[in-house]
Amino acid sequence: MKAHLTRRYRFSASHRLHNPAMSDAENRSTYGKCNNPHGHGHNYALEVTVSGPVDEGTGMVCNLVDLDGFVQQEILQRFDLQNLNMLEEFQKSVPTTEHLGQTIYEILQRGFRRAHLERVRIEETMMNSFEFAEAREGNW
């Protein structure tokens, strides 16, 4: 039987929203306070949902040790306590939570093989969150 398993992680990072293709005035009007040249930070919460048949021998969709290990090594170590603007991923794109979530979704989709990636959800603050999933019909 197929189940969905969701694990929640936390990391903190700083960023500045600024697009060099825009004028200073346009950057300010587009990004507001987030355009502050010195940057600012967030405590992000990351939810990773994977799905698959529940293995009869283990009772699991996938072993949490594998998921936690992958997320720790490939995502948290890369982004936690970093300035996102300094990372290679964000040299050509603005480190909005949309772009951050897409990047994390792609890392998981490319590298995590123990279960099917269903969804990635990121909370930038308690007030806003972003979800990433394959476009398809059905349950999330």
Partner 1 sequence: MVYLTRKAEFAASHYYHNPAFTPEENQRVFGKCNNPNGHGHNYTLEVTVKGEVDPRSGFVVDLKQLKETMNREVLEAMDHRFLNKEVPEFSTRIPTTENLAIAIWQRLEPKLNAARLHRVRVYETPDLFVDFYGEA
Enumerate binding residues for partner 1 (CB under 8 A). Answer: 1-9, 49, 54, 57-61, 63-65, 139
**Residue (50 or 107) nearer to partner 1, CB:** 50
Sequence letter at residue 55: D
What minimum distance in Å lies between the beta carbon of 21 and partner 1?
39
What minimum distance in Å lies between the beta carbon of 56 and partner 1?
8
**Residue (81 or 140) nearer to partner 1, CB:** 140
Yes or no: say if 103 and 41 are a contact pair by the CB < 8 Å rule.
no
DSSP 34: G
Torsion on CA atoms 48, 53, 55, 61, rounded to nearest 10:
0
**Residue (14 or 51) nearer to partner 1, CB:** 51
What minimum distance in Å lies between the beta carbon of 48 and partner 1?
11
Return the beta strands (E) in the chain as ranges: 2-15, 40-53, 82-83, 116-123, 129-133
What minimum distance in Å lies between the beta carbon of 3 and partner 1?
5
Compute how many other C-beta atoms are within 10 angstroms of the C-beta atom of residue 94. 22
**Residue (35 or 49) nearer to partner 1, CB:** 49
